[in-house]
Amino acid sequence: MRRLNLALAERSYPILIGGGLLSRGDLIVPFLRTARVALVSNTNVAPLYLDIVVKALEKVGVGVTPIILPDGEAHKNWESLNLIYDALLANRCDRGTTIVALGGGVIGDLAGFAAATYQRGVPFVQIPTTLLSQVDSSVGGKTGINHPRGKNMVGAFWQPKLVLADTDTLKTLPDRELSAGMAEVIKYGLIRDLPFLGWLEANMKGLLARDGELLAHAIERSCANKAEVVAADEYETAAVGGRALLNLGHTFGHAIETGMGYGEWLHGEAVAAGMMMAVELSRRLGWLSVADVDRVRAVLQRANLPVKGADLGAARYLELMSHDKKVIAGSLRLVLLKALGDAVTYADAPREEIVAAIESCCRE
Ligand code: NAD
Ligand code: GLY
């Protein structure tokens, strides 16, 4: 088992990565306030893994209330959140109850927001089961739901007490979802870890073939990068750089997800196309070479990710991007690359260059 720590003073927590962790109730117990858990999952993941976790917790004396939500990004909304509150109340869950998320990023974000708000906050544990959630969404405490006008527009920062990433769960993940998770893995290489980008280029074939050791290394390195960034800027308030850098490609990507309708493009797919737009814009600003852009395109394609954007039209992109959470006083801050492995936040990209980057990535 690999073990990392997210250092946030009294709210620090471990990230445990390895095979067979779902059946290790003993790893979870020390992080519970009382021997009571509400286990939130969905109709897709529950038949695969719920019983294993319930049995593991019952074996160590923990009572479990399962809460099963409909599956998919289209259900990351108020209705699903209310289903969680309804079940918590119907089962008389109190402030000692820990909410445990068992699933991908959608379940993690929903369950985390429920934990942040139920009775003004209850403890929370993440058991991520997709590559994307194991390398990104389960770590760092961002929780929330989508609004029809924008992705993740309603939410809260609420750190988990523990992240338990069982790499065995990736064996049942569809190929398309594995690739979507790889977009966020590649992101860490692009924003701050150039040696990791080289390692990913060399090992992409084995990663997509689900070599356990390679996947565990990629997850550990991704979480280590994320933990460092979050520890330095937990609430994303740094005036420049900081946690916002984790959003490379996301402003463009969120526009694709919202513009196409939630669930049409997977989050990681939209991020991949969005990263191409950010990289192309960085080239137009004179920071990256054509060879750099080609290198990014090649690694994304090797991960079976889209590099061409959704054909929404640049005006619609800009409209959707104007709702981005990085907009401050009307000024849109984009995450761009000064060089591969060196990301910056930048508010001064000329509008015509942003339009040109979008259009060029929707044409290719
Ligand atoms: P997801 O949660 O929708 O999971 C993808 C699909 O895989 C779903 O159908 C799910 O049921 C299924 N699944 C999950 N685990 C499985 C398994 N082991 N075997 C088979 N099927 C499995 O999507 P995701 O890619 O995990 O997460 C995307 C979400 O995460 C988006 O809503 C995004 O906004 C959010 N996100 C949040 C953060 C954050 O910091 N909080 C960061 C990145 C992304
Ligand atoms: N996924 C971006 C963040 O956690 O800040």
Q: Give the pLDDT confidence of 199-214 residue by residue, as tens digits.
A: 999 999 999 999 999 9
Among 131, 184, 247, 335, which is best to mutate for testing ligand 2, by the most ligand atoms less than 8 A from CB?
A: 247
**60 and 185 housed in the same domain:** no
Ligand 2 centroid distance, CA of 243 (Å)? 7
The vertex-85 CA angle with 84 and 91, nearest 5°, equals: 90
Q: Examine the domain organization and report whether 203 and 324 are in the same domain.
A: yes
Which CB contacts under 8 angstroms, 24+ apart, belong to 261-264?
Answer: 261/74, 262/73, 262/74, 262/76, 262/146, 262/151, 263/72, 263/73, 263/74
- CATH code for position 120: 3.40.50.1970
Domain count, the chain: 2
Classify the phi-psi angles of 42: left when phi > 0, otherwise alpha if psi is within -120 to 50, otherwise beta: beta
Question: For residues 96 and 327, what is the distance between their CA atoms, to the nearest angstrom?
Answer: 38
One domain, residues 334 and 230: yes
Quote the pTM value: 0.96
Q: Are residues 64 and 194 in the same domain?
A: no
C-alpha of residue 103 to centroid of ligand 1, in Å:
7
Q: Which domain holds residue 78?
A: 2-172
Among the candidates 150, 172, 194, a domain finishes at: 172
pLDDT at 328: 76
- Look up the CATH number of the domain holding residue 262: 1.20.1090.10
155 plus 213 within the same structural domain: no
pLDDT at 364: 63
The reply to whether 288 and 217 lie within a common domain is yes
Distance CA 362, CA 84 (A): 39
Choosing from 125, 141, 172, the residue where a domain stops is: 172
Instruction: Give the model confidence (pLDDT) of 124-172 as tens digits.
Output: 999 999 999 999 999 999 999 999 988 899 999 999 999 999 999 999 9
Among the three residues 172, 187, 202, which one is the final residue of a domain in this structure? 172
Q: Are residues 184 and 328 in the same domain?
A: yes
The residues of the chain scoring below 70 in pLDDT are 364
